[in-house]
Amino acid sequence: MTEAQLWGLLNYANLANNGDWHDGRMLASGPRINPWMQEATLRRVESGDLVGFDTDMVGPQATALIFLGPYIAAPQCQQDVRKNFIA
């Protein structure tokens, strides 16, 4: 799964739950994690990569949410993410 696809799943989940919008596409993984504030690209997120993201998101019922990473991509991450968001 690429960074852009992962970002798309977050956006999909927000919109599917009657959310509104994201202020940016700040998501980076692996060697791109530093320097911070890079937008999602077509780089493939690999197992064990550090994944960081930051969004000023307006979610369901106009809630203002700020999600911050970093997280570690687990080996089964791609299957779990698809199962949870696209079920």
The reported pLDDT for the residue numbered 56 is 76
Query: In this predicted structure, what is the pLDDT of residue 54?
Result: 80
79's enclosing H/E stretch is: helix 77-85
Domain boundaries, given as residue ranges, for the chain: 3-82
Give the separation between CA 87 and CA 66, rounded to whole angstroms: 25
Q: pLDDT tens across 8-66, in order?
A: 998 898 889 898 888 888 899 999 988 878 899 999 999 889 898 887 788 888 777 76
Q: In this predicted structure, what is the pLDDT of residue 41?
A: 96
pLDDT tier at 87, thresholds 50, 70, 90: very low
More confident residue, 42 or 80: 42
Report whether pLDDT(81) > 60: no
Q: Do the beta carbons of residue 57 and residue 14 sit within 8 Å? A: yes
Torsion of CA 72, 49, 1, 56, to 10 degrees: 60
50-58 and 71-72 beta bridge pairing: antiparallel
Per DSSP, what are the bridge partners of residue 72?
50
Q: What are phi and psi of 2, to 5 degrees?
A: -90, 165
Written as six digits, the tokens of 75 are 């080996």
